[in-house]
């Protein structure tokens, strides 16, 4: 397994090209299976989660042509077949194929995703949304078995919480439900709005995506389509922390300020400056880092996917920061590893108290989940001496060429291939 060797202490200066959003790409690959016509997706990030999602699409019989700048998915001849637990176990997002397959074929069998490092992550709201549209769903032998012999019918779906995945499942299924579907308490994440934009390009009739209330008219008359996905706001926020934690200055091209309002607010409280540029935005930090209090919330609140990265920044800021994780029940896997680097962090349930200011010192650390892993990279950039990060495959799931992007900005980083 690859490892990363980082020697900290340098200031990062330069430009980082922000890739397409992983969490926009994954549902759009699933959405391609709704239509018998080709869907061309440009701006897919070169990350392993996208590779895996495309390989599952192929398992259903989709033809996938991929090059550096565009991927075409032709689902003209797919069949609805079961995808193994082993496949779904490795990537939860494959549950997003459930809605499209049920909507298109009237039946679908997708393995119930297990939990993952950050929590149980059930899919009850996905299942309830499909049942509201008229599907019959049973769980047997670890499989979600869904059927809708008479087809799906438009309905009012009230989500118990603004779940991103459940909103996406409801949205995709509703495109083939007869009549109007109203999704209430929908997730407002930019990736949901981007999925709606992709479905609209394919021929769907959707209004209100990006708000708490989405209306869909079905069934959809599909057409060949092309869609350019949004840039990854989590990658952008991660590199913004890299600039702030090293006291440097980075231009993040393709990043969109309007998707990062809550993040920029905290960056400025902590002593960084953020300004728009004609290619994206510039993040810099010249003065001292200051502590901040953070509570993760559904969009437009502070994103849970940047909690670990900002906790690392807080470790280097004078003063005490209080961080509360409200979305997942176990998203502090980075804490023991940060403590190994010299951080002073105390946990009480889903709250963390970070006493910042002590210098971090390099050590051997272990990556655990995608965002915890990148917080270790950020800590290593600020730590004195050498840090070795093991199990780098976690990083490759969601960050495109992170070692070369950081090296180009002056980081002393190399990938050690086993």
Can you give the binding site for ligand EPZ, defined by CB under 6 A?
23, 26, 93, 119-126, 161, 163-166, 187, 304-305, 327-328, 370-371, 398
In the bound complex, what is the minimum distance in angstroms from residue 320's beta carbon to ligand EPZ?
Answer: 26
Q: Give the nearest residue (CB) to ligand EPZ.
A: 165
The single residue of 116, 198, 316, 409 carrying the catalytic annotation is 116
Catalytic status, residue 116: yes
- Is residue 340 a contact partner of residue 302, using CB atoms and an 8 Å limit? no
Q: Where are the alpha helices (DSSP H) in 133-251?
A: 164-174, 190-201, 233-246
Minimum distance from CB of 193 to ligand EPZ (Å)?
13
Which residues make beta-bridge pairs with 282?
A: 251, 275
- Residue 122 or 288 having the CB closest to ligand EPZ: 122
> Judged by CB, which is closer to ligand EPZ: 159, or 316?
159
| Beta strand 294-295 pairing with 319-324 | parallel
Q: Pick between residue 249 and residue 369 the one whose CB is nearest to ligand EPZ.
A: 369
Residue nearer to ligand EPZ on the CB measure, 195 or 274: 195
Rounded CA separation 377/6 (Å): 8
Indicate the Cα dihedral angle 354, 357, 361, 367, nearest 10°: 30
Q: Which residues contact 156 (CB under 8 A, 6 or more apart)?
A: 132, 181, 182, 184
Q: Report the nearest approach of ligand EPZ to the CB of residue 121 (Å).
A: 4
- What one-character DSSP code corresponds to residue 300? T
User: How long, in residues, is the chain?
Assistant: 418
* Minimal distance, residue 126 CB to ligand EPZ, in Å: 5
Question: How crowded is residue 324: how many other Cβ atoms within 10 Å of its Cβ?
Answer: 16
Task: Give the 3-state secondary structure percentages of the chain, helix then strand then coil, rounded to 5.
Answer: 35, 30, 35
Choice between 125 and 380, CB closer to ligand EPZ: 125
Is there a contact between 197 and 160 (Cβ–Cβ < 8 Å)? no
> Torsions phi, psi of 303, nearest 5?
-75, 135
| Distance, CA of 255 to CA of 265 (rounded, Å) | 16
Closest to ligand EPZ by CB, 273 or 330: 330
In the complex, minimum distance from the CB of residue 376 to ligand EPZ, in angstroms, rounded to a whole number:
15
Cα angle, residue 95 at apex, residues 89 and 97 outer, rounded to 5°: 130
Supply the minimum distance, in Å, between the C-beta of residue 124 and ligand EPZ.
Answer: 5
Q: Where are the beta strands (DSSP E) in 244-395?
A: 249-253, 273-277, 280-284, 294-295, 319-324, 345-348, 351-356, 364-366, 386-390
Nearer to ligand EPZ, 166 or 315 (CB): 166
Instruction: Name residue, tokens 């009739």.
Output: 205
CB of 272 to ligand EPZ, least distance (A): 22
Q: Least distance in Å: CB of 363 to ligand EPZ?
A: 24
Please say which residue, 233 or 405, places its beta carbon nearer to ligand EPZ. Answer: 233
Cα Rg of the chain (Å, integer): 21
Number of helices and strands in the chain (H, E): 14, 23
Enumerate the active-site residues: 116
């Amino acid at each position: 397994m690859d490892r990363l060797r980082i020697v900290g202490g340098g200031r990062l200066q330069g430009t980082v090209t922000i890739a397409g959003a992983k969490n926009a790409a994954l549902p759009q690959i699933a959405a391609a299976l709704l239509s018998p016509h080709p869907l061309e997706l440009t701006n897919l990030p070169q990350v392993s989660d996208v590779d895996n999602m495309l390989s599952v699409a192929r398992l259903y019989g989709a033809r996938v042509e991929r090059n550096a700048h565009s991927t075409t998915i032709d689902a003209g001849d797919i069949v609805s077949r079961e995808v193994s637990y082993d496949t779904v176990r490795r990537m939860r997002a494959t549950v997003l194929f459930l809605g499209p397959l049920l909507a298109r074929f009237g039946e679908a069998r997708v393995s119930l995703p297990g939990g993952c490092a950050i929590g149980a992550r059930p899919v009850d709201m996905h299942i309830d949304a499909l049942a509201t549209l008229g599907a019959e769903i049973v769980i047997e032998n670890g499989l979600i078995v869904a059927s809708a012999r008479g087809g799906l019918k438009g309905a009012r779906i009230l989500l118990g919480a603004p779940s991103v995945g459940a909103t996406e499942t409801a949205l995709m299924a509703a495109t083939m439900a007869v009549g109007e579907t109203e999704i209430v308490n929908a997730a407002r994440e930019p990736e949901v709005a981007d999925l709606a934009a992709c479905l609209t390009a394919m021929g769907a009739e959707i209004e209100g995506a990006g708000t708490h209330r989405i209306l869909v008219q079905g069934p959809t008359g599909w057409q060949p389509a092309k869609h350019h996905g949004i840039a990854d706001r989590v990658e952008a926020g991660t590199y913004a922390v890299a600039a702030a934690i090293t006291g440097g200055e980075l231009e993040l091209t393709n990043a969109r300020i309007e998707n990062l309002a809550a993040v920029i607010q905290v960056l400025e409280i902590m002593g960084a400056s953020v300004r728009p540029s004609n290619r994206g935005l510039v993040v810099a930090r010249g003065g001292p880092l200051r502590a901040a209090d953070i509570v993760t919330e559904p969009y437009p609140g502070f994103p849970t996917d940047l909690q670990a990265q900002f906790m690392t920044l807080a470790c280097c800021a004078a003063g005490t920061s209080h961080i509360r994780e409200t979305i997942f029940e176990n998203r502090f896997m980075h804490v023991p590893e940060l403590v190994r680097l010299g951080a002073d962090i105390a946990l009480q349930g889903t709250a963390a108290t970070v006493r910042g200011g002590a210098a971090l010192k390099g050590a051997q650390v272990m990556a655990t989940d995608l965002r915890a892993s990148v917080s270790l990279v950020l800590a290593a950039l600020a730590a004195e001496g050498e840090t070795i990060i093991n199990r780098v495959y976690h990083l490759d799931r969601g960050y495109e060429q992170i070692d070369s992007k950081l090296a180009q900005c002056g980081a002393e980083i190399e990938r050690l291939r086993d």
